[in-house]
Structure 1
Amino acid sequence: MISHCLVRLILRHYPQLKISRVLTRRSIATLADFPAADVLTHSIDDLIDHSDIIVECTGDVAFGTEVIERAFEAGLPVVTINAELQVTTGSYLAGRGLLTEAEGDQPGSLAALREDALRMGFEPLVYGNMKGYLNHNPSRADMEYWSKRQGISLNQTTSFTDGTKVQIEQVVVGNGFGATISRQGLEGLASTDLNRSAEILGMIADGLGQPIVDYVVPSGYPAGGVFLVCRHDVDQAPAIEYFKLGAGPYYVLTRPFHLCSLEVGKTISRVLAGGGVLLNNSTAPTLGVAAITKRELGIGERIGRGIGGFDVRGEAVRLADSPDHVPIGLLSNAVLKRRLEPGQLVTFDDLELQPSRVLDIVLQQRQKVLEVPATLRLVSDAVR
């Protein structure tokens, strides 16, 4: 959906840009209705040889990482719409080339709102996401129904519903802007009044002495947007109250929409004009997204996929607090070595992971960011 809509947008509304190649792993013969079918390719080399900038929107951590590494070898900048990749390999990649998340998805929308806020003199305390619905352990039947009804994949539907996606999105924002979390899994306030919820989150951030990322689950007002809780100079308070933002000290700035592919062109233009990075996971992250079991898992069971699967869901953690957690974006065909209870955080000691480039990157980044336990270093050595 993202690639179809983005290509249509560029063709009709960005005459200064040209779609040169579109990389796909699907059979080209099945894509006759693609809006630029003549530029479809299966070759990463072909893509890179004909591009000045790459837009990566696979939603796939492993394949997206491969494409971005190849792009950086060729000196090309990359705009991505893939928060899942950002929290898994993004910090490693950010040190090797220009990598930025795009406007359109919630992280990029928060980054754009932050830029506006800073220009107006606001100091962000809370980077907030509005989540419409949450069920930590939805049934496969329900997810199949909603996947078909909404026209998106089963994996996407599940990761949106069980909260994994919002945890991933907020961790990217936190790492990108030096914010933290108040607790594992975030507060996730049920909210009938955004101003009241914002005040609570603002007080939490003040208590920690550091900006935080979090989300609310609205009831009675629209979901789907993003918000900031900010401070401003005391002597500006009368003017800000006149401007209808209240008496302070916490001010709420909202962006009540995020339009996904329709906004990506803004970030492409930004990078091509020399505007630099809007947001990435930073080269020195402090937060990660751990895998939390949804059900009892026995020895020898296989976790086919982490993000959007029915065995685990994601929760935001501080890397310093959970140094042995397995990033949920790393889980693919992993085999359990020990029995796990529902709600348990999955560690590297709990399972056997398939050797991969993504695993190498995760372990290398983990060693860089933290004092890594000897057991984890042994895993890394064994894989290599």
Structure 2
Amino acid sequence: MESVKRIGVVGTGLIGKGLIMALENDPSFDLSRILTRREIDSMIGFPSAGKLTNDVDELIDNSDLIVECSGDVLYGTDVIDRAIRASLPVVTMNSELQVTTGSYFARRGFITEAEGDQPGCLAALHENVLQMGFKPLVYGNVKGFLKLDPQPDEMEYWSNRNGTSLEMTTSFTDGTKVQIEQVFVANGLGAGIAADGLLGPLSEDAHSGGVHLAERAKEAGCAISDYILSPKTPPGVFITAEIDSRHKDALRYYKMGEGPYYTMLVNYHLCHLEILKTIRRVFSGGGVLLNNGTHPRISAAAVAKRDLYPGHAIRRGIGSFDVRGIAVEIAAHSEHVPIGLLSDAVVVRPVREGQMLTFADVELPNSLALRAWLEIKEEALYAPSR
């Protein structure tokens, strides 16, 4: 009889807590340990509280697979490094980590993003449309609202109302989250970007926005990763693709429109609930759903939201009121600082509002994440083409 697989969870925020409750209800898995940085005595009433630990070794020793959903790039990188060294497969719900250090781990072991967040859902949709014979042109994300420089008071209001952290709420609102997600999709699915910061056209619906982006993809000569700003479209993901024109009459009958571009929309993503599908995929030998690739071409650069002066400390870049993230090509902006690395960073040169931060502008603490990025960048810029 096959033994029940032991699942270790890293992170006790919104996603981690939801996954823990889902695992409690699934007898095919054993929730083994939950790694947290919080004081365990303060977490009275937390689900499966008896499995909480602050000890990475305890997590590793009692798990057959690790799910990393801490939302923290530097901390998550350290934990995943331990898991990979122990030859454990790693599933993430952490696009921020994937676009910063994921490629470092993709060369060393098994790491995949889960379905549930937009990149994983796009990867699953990608597999589906390829099997039907479509050729993707646009890997699209649907965003309903965008404000590049939201203020603290409004973000605190929405954070409290939605039960999400202030940083998470801010990164959703200022576009950092969608930029990171589409960087990840571009690298993982072999697409490009049409412009720094993406295009993000205002669209009535997913199909009209997808057609607009598909035309830009045809001009670029490659599939692109981007998003639409569409307040009336449900949150989700879509792929706009082309197919053998002999299917045109049938696709018209199937209410897919006149072509030549067709849009497949998934109008939901259920985050922690869908992680279970990816865990099953891994154990059944289904392989990587999505990772950042071993040789990424796109990154998420930090851009100043306001003038920054020497001595200013950036505690955490993602979700801050100091910087936001935009998608860029690594080769064109080789000295940019990935926004995921801005943790306890100190500004050392004046940076003007709207300026992209470079490594000469900030002092970063030494970390595995920093060393991993420098290796990734070296490969991206100087490795022979493959």
Superposed pair shares fold, TM > 0.5: yes
Q: Match for 1:107 among 106, 119, 122?
A: 119
- For these two proteins, the number of residue pairs brought into alignment is 370
| Post-superposition offset of 1:154 | 0.5
1:23 aligns with 2:44: no
Residue 187 in structure 1 maps to residue 202 in structure 2:
no
The answer on 1:196 being equivalent to 2:227 is no
CA distance in structure 1 between the partners assigned to 2:205 and 2:271 by the alignment: 26
Paired with 1:180 and 1:88, the residues of 2 have a C-alpha distance of 17
Q: For the Cα contact (< 8 Å) 1:227–1:253, is it kept in 2?
A: yes
| Matched position secondary structure for 2:331 | coil
Find 1:325's aligned residue among 318, 329, 336: 336
- Do structure 1's residue 233 and structure 2's residue 244 form an aligned pair? yes
Three-state SS of the structure 1 residue aligned to 2:32 is: coil
Structure 2 residue 110 is the aligned partner of structure 1 residue 98: yes
Structure 2 CA distance, aligned partners of 1:69 and 1:108?
Answer: 22
The CA distance in 1 between the partners of 2:276 and 2:245, in whole Å, is 38
In structure 2, the partner of 1:207 is 219
Which aligned segments of 4 or more residues in structure 1 are displaced greater than 3 angstroms? Answer: none
Q: Secondary structure at the match of 2:211?
A: helix
- 1:352 Cα deviation after fit: 1.6
Q: Secondary structure at the match of 1:274?
A: coil
Q: Deviations over 1:63-104 (max 9, x none)?
A: 111111111111100000000000110011111111000000
* 282, 292, 305: which one aligns with 1:281: 292
Partner residue, 1:162: 174
Shift of the alpha carbon at 1:333?
A: 2.1
User: Structure 2: how far apart are the matches of 1:172 and 1:38?
Assistant: 35
1:268 corresponds to which of 252, 275, 279: 279
- Amino acid paired to 1:331: L
Q: How many Å separate the matches in 1 of 2:206 and 2:278?
A: 29
2:357 alignment counterpart:
346
**Cα distance in 2 between the residues matched to 1:371 and 1:271:** 33
What's the counterpart of residue 53 of structure 2?
Answer: 41
**Aligned residue identity for 2:16:** S
* Matched letter for residue 187 of structure 2: N
Q: State the Cα RMSD in Å.
A: 1.1
Counting aligned pairs with the same residue, the percent is 53
Q: Deviations over 1:307-355 (max 9, x none)?
A: 0111000000011111110000001122222211110011111122221
Is structure 2 residue 10 aligned with structure 1 residue 10? Answer: no
CA contact (8 A) 1:136 1:163 kept: yes
**What residue identity is the alignment partner of 1:3?**
G
Letter in 2 for 1:30: S
Superposition deviation, residue 299 in structure 1: 2.1
Residue matched to 2:9:
none
Q: Which residue identity lines up with residue 301 of structure 2 in the other structure?
A: A
- Alpha-carbon distance between aligned partners in 2 of 1:346 and 1:63, rounded to the nearest angstrom: 22
1:150 equivalent in structure 2 = 162
Contact 2:240–2:264, Cα closer than 8 Å, also in 1? yes
* 1:57-72 → structure 2 map (5 Å cutoff): 57-72=69-84
Distance 1:355 1:115 in 2: 39
Q: Which residue of 2 aligns with 1:379?
A: none
How far apart are the structure 1 equivalents of 2:349 and 2:75? 29
Q: Which residue type is aligned with residue 10 of structure 1?
A: L
**1:172 Cα shift?**
0.4
Aligned to 2:254: 243
Verify the 8 A CA contact 2:205 2:233 in the aligned structure 1: no
Equivalent residue for 1:121? Answer: 133
Aligned counterparts of 1:216 and 1:26: Cα–Cα separation in 2: 37
TM-score by length of 2: 0.94
- Asked if the contact 2:204/2:233 (under 8 Å) is kept, the reply is no
Which residue pairs with 2:187 in the alignment?
175
Structure 1 contact 131–218 (Cα < 8 Å) conserved: yes
Q: State yes or no: 1:313 paired with 2:313.
A: no
2:308 aligned with 1:297: yes
Q: Distance in 2 between matches of 1:334 and 1:6?
A: 31
Contact 2:314 2:342 in 1 (8 A): yes
Q: What CA deviation, in whole Å up to 9, does each residue of 1:249-269 have, x standing for no partner?
A: 100000000000011000000
3-state SS of the aligned residue for 1:349?
coil
- Uncovered stretches (5+) of structure 2, i.e. residues with no partner: 1-13
